[in-house]
Structure 1
Amino acid sequence: MIHKIIKNENDYAIALARIDELIDADLGTPDGDELELLVTLVELYENKAHPIGFPDPIEAIKFRMGQAGLKQKDLIPFIGSRSKVSEVLSRQRPLSIAMIRKLHEGLGIRAEVLLREPETKGVPASEGIEWERFPLAEMVKRKWLPHFEGTINEAKKQIAELIGGWAAHVGADTLQPALLRQHVRSGSEVDNYALAAWRIRVSLQAQEQKIPRYQPGTVTTDFIRDLVRLSYLDNGPLLAREYLLKSGIHFVVEEHLPHTHLDGAAVMLQNGSPLVALTLRHDRLDNFWFTLCHELAHVALHFDGGECDAFFDDLDQAEIDLFEKDADHWATEALIPSELWHAADMERNPSTRRIIDFAASLRISPAIPAGRIRKEKQNYRIFSGLLGYKQVRTLVMQGI
């Protein structure tokens, strides 16, 4: 029996070997007491000699769940009740020796990993975050919080750990919009906590995309015009997604949350890659292409200069400042250059036939000139048949 402080790697190896021998020991027995003592001695040594030697046990469990396609309920045989599983994964309850033994035997996670002290993650409530203001019910409904499958009441009891740990992967400052250099274009009051949750969600989705390194200056007028020519094809939105990803620009589609009034956003991620995220709040081809170009305009005009880290846009609202005026103008010109628009005299007596012929001459979707005419004339009842209603969401979501 080992009953002395672990002082070197040889003592450490002997202790780990003995833990493997005792892992099945019952609590309260001599072997169980020895196991608990060894766990304590190993933790003391690891904290001193191997502060980053093994992965965090909770992250190791989550990783194994992902590998095996397990859900939270699948851990009940190893941890106990559904509430205990939630508490362990959200770091509210420590792993017991019995849990460690069952997880080691059932999931094959190394005992020395499970024996480590879990890291403290997330943002403490003392930093002034009003956790109850997050749209928790909607977040749970959409399954945004990984591995959590409990009730709303259970989620409320651990909201700081759930949301704080979730946000830690993209930077804890995203929980507090006041700390960020971001710009919101909206004609009504925006729920900043809902906006923060949406930003975290799309940023996490972007992190899952493997793309080449973004080169500043990539987004130019010519780049956009090549992109817009894809609109001529039936699967243009899907091709646009591939075009952006191969250019080092993340592209995500995520439905907006209530009280955010979003059409799209441009966000500069911590790794220096831009993210364009659309909500498809208005499921029309003309809206898709204009919103996409508007957000790319922010990338071209404002990110490379470092003026702002994020733009969130409700494009139903008029231009509210120079940032938005520049982005609107840049997007409009990229979609259809003014000289071509005026030369075709599209403002006067437009017709469905003229719009289709004009779009064909530019090799772009007729939804783009039709949408421009509707906006310029402030008449949103005309040319509805050219806009591609209900064609974008199904197409884009099928391809993701």
Structure 2
Amino acid sequence: MVPTSYPFQPDYAVPPGWVLEERLEANGISQAEFARRCGRSPKFISDIIAGKAPVEAKTALQFEKVLGVSANIWLGIEKRYRLHLMRQAEAREAEESAEWARGFPVSELVKRGALRQVSSAGEKVTELLTFFGVASIEAWTVKNETVVVAYRHSPSFESNSFALAAWLRLAELEAGEQTLKDYDRTAFMEALKQVRQLTRTEMPQALVEARHLCSEAGVALVWVKQLPKARLSGAARWLSPRKPLIALSGRHGSDDQIWFSLFHEAAHVLLHSKKSVYVDGETNDDSGDEAEANEWAANFLIPQPAWQRFLAADAYDSEDSISKFAAEQEIAPGIVIGRLQHEGLLSWRSRLNRLKVKVRLG
């Protein structure tokens, strides 16, 4: 995760010109005389005293010879002063950027240990930039505008783009803590077959085992509890050309939703652009890549021929028939319920929802 402590940084620094002026007065040397001894113009010395010109290495050596004060000391004073000015400029810029910071769920990020607790708006901006690993708001904007974000499902909810970006960053940091093998598409397909069987294993152990299987194939699987105003179930993206990421939020709190989200995001990894970020949760997009990912996930979990035979039996409103079919397919019964509901064959409030398992991630 991001650093949570910094060394002490005083909010003041002595300009080298002040020190020079004091030394000249103490030695009874005028600025003109000092300039002559250093082989410099009076204006140059005046500019240093006024803070308009920096003390560079050559100048520091000249001061050392004339005043007997080490060149290292002069350079150290100069360095600290210029750094202080830069910090002041950044602080002013950060204060002016407070509106940007207000878009993020700062309190929740502090609660999770992603940000330090700070008081001023400027400090919050600095904390957020450090969290995102960028040097400026402009860099953050470029980073977030260069990815194509695809959304699907749950049109009744509206996500805040800042909260969404923060959630994706949390997932990225979580993935960074995993040790992965090189990505292997064939190995990932084999891993997904084993993950499919894990849908009948008790949570959260099933996801822990799924994470291991994915890591062996070079895919980072993480789960990060959703942030306020970030209404999403999962996301898929490539962190590098050889490192795909699948992130789950557990938003809906049931096993069928979590498993479907995992396989939906897996479809994006297998089938779609490495340059895009795919987010599951914002709008009901049933076209293009999202429709393809939906279809792939549904048919990977329940092959279409088996599904058609099950529907033809016309017993899909029976708990026994659903449980039997799920056992035959080696998947969780909740997945069958979820597909029936998605296809409009079963009410979202059906009594058969009791076959689903409640899950809380994070």
Deviation, structure 1 residue 333 = 0.5
Deviation, structure 1 residue 192 = 1.2
Which residue in 1 is equivalent to 2:199? Answer: 231
Contact 1:264 / 1:291 at 8 angstroms: preserved in 2?
A: yes
- Provide the C-alpha distance between the structure 2 equivalents of 1:171 and 1:246, rounded to a whole number of angstroms: 36
- Provide the C-alpha distance between the structure 2 equivalents of 1:189 and 1:240, rounded to a whole number of angstroms: 30
Do the aligned partners of residues 264 and 43 (structure 1) sit closer, same or farther apart at CA in structure 2, a change above 3 Å counting?
A: farther
1:294 to 264, 281, 297: 264
Q: What do the CA deviations read for 1:67-122 (whole angstroms, capped 9, x no partner)?
A: xxxxxxxxxxxxxxxxxxxxx9xx958xxxxxxxxxxxxxxxxxxxxxxxxxx9xx
- Provide the C-alpha distance between the structure 1 equivalents of 2:135 and 2:246, rounded to a whole number of angstroms: 16
Do the aligned partners of residues 336 and 169 (structure 1) sit closer, same or farther apart at CA in structure 2, a change above 3 Å counting?
A: farther
Do the aligned partners of residues 170 and 180 (structure 1) sit closer, same or farther apart at CA in structure 2, a change above 3 Å counting?
A: farther
State whether structure 2 residue 281 is matched by structure 1 residue 332: no
Contact 1:290 / 1:332 at 8 angstroms: preserved in 2?
A: yes
Aligned residue for 2:338, secondary structure, equals helix
* Residue-pair matches, total: 288
Which residue in 1 is equivalent to 2:109? Answer: 139
1:263 to 210, 213, 233: 233
State whether structure 2 residue 159 is matched by structure 1 residue 190: yes
- Provide the C-alpha distance between the structure 2 equivalents of 1:347 and 1:237, rounded to a whole number of angstroms: 33
Deviation, structure 1 residue 200 = 1.4
Aligned residue for 2:240, secondary structure, equals coil
Q: What do the CA deviations read for 1:167-218 (whole angstroms, capped 9, x no partner)?
A: 1179985555323232233625431111111111211111111111213565
Query: What value does the CA root-mean-square deviation take over the aligned residues?
Result: 3.9
Contact 1:355 / 1:366 at 8 angstroms: preserved in 2?
A: yes
State whether structure 2 residue 149 is matched by structure 1 residue 179: no
Aligned residue for 2:167, secondary structure, equals helix
Deviation, structure 1 residue 139 = 2.1
Q: What do the CA deviations read for 1:111-140 (whole angstroms, capped 9, x no partner)?
A: xxxxxxxxx9xx989999933322323322
1:278 to 243, 248, 263: 248
- Provide the C-alpha distance between the structure 2 equivalents of 1:44 and 1:92, rounded to a whole number of angstroms: 14
Do the aligned partners of residues 263 and 92 (structure 1) sit closer, same or farther apart at CA in structure 2, a change above 3 Å counting?
A: same
1:159 to 99, 124, 128: 124
Do the aligned partners of residues 348 and 132 (structure 1) sit closer, same or farther apart at CA in structure 2, a change above 3 Å counting?
A: same
Contact 2:132 / 2:140 at 8 angstroms: preserved in 1?
A: yes
Q: What do the CA deviations read for 1:257-294 (whole angstroms, capped 9, x no partner)?
A: 22221011002113631111111111111111101000
Counterparts in 2 of 1:1-400, with a 5 A limit?
38=72, 40-41=74-75, 92=87, 130-145=100-115, 148-150=116-118, 154-168=119-133, 173=139, 175-176=141-142, 177-185=144-152, 187=155, 188-216=157-185, 218-220=187-189, 223-234=191-202, 235-270=205-240, 272-303=242-273, 306=274, 308-314=275-281, 318-345=284-311, 348-350=314-316, 351-376=318-343, 377-382=345-350, 383-389=352-358, 392-393=359-360, 397=362
Structure 2 spans left out of the alignment, 5+ residues: 1-54, 58-67
Q: What do the CA deviations read for 1:303-359 (whole angstroms, capped 9, x no partner)?
A: 3xx4x42111118x5334211100000000100101111223377222111111112
Deviation, structure 1 residue 41 = 4.0
- Provide the C-alpha distance between the structure 2 equivalents of 1:362 and 1:231, rounded to a whole number of angstroms: 11
Moved over 6 A (4+): 42-45, 123-129, 169-172
- Provide the C-alpha distance between the structure 2 equivalents of 1:184 and 1:193, rounded to a whole number of angstroms: 15
Contact 1:169 / 1:204 at 8 angstroms: preserved in 2?
A: no
When the two structures are superposed, what TM-score results if normalisation uses the length of structure 1? 0.61
Contact 2:97 / 2:125 at 8 angstroms: preserved in 1?
A: no
Contact 2:98 / 2:121 at 8 angstroms: preserved in 1?
A: no
Q: What do the CA deviations read for 1:9-36 (whole angstroms, capped 9, x no partner)?
A: xxxxxxxxxxxxxxxxxxxxxxxx97x9
Q: Match for 1:288: what amino acid? A: I
- Provide the C-alpha distance between the structure 2 equivalents of 1:194 and 1:132, rounded to a whole number of angstroms: 10
Q: Match for 2:300: what amino acid? A: A
- Provide the C-alpha distance between the structure 1 equivalents of 2:324 and 2:106, rounded to a whole number of angstroms: 49
When the two structures are superposed, what TM-score results if normalisation uses the length of structure 2? 0.67
Do the aligned partners of residues 243 and 372 (structure 1) sit closer, same or farther apart at CA in structure 2, a change above 3 Å counting?
A: same
Which residue in 2 is equivalent to 1:112? Answer: none
Q: Match for 1:275: what amino acid? A: L
- Provide the C-alpha distance between the structure 2 equivalents of 1:170 and 1:290, rounded to a whole number of angstroms: 37
Deviation, structure 1 residue 233 = 2.1
Do the aligned partners of residues 205 and 347 (structure 1) sit closer, same or farther apart at CA in structure 2, a change above 3 Å counting?
A: farther
Q: Percent identity?
A: 26
Aligned residue for 1:358, secondary structure, equals helix
| Relative contact order higher in (CA < 8 Å, ≥ 6 apart) | 2
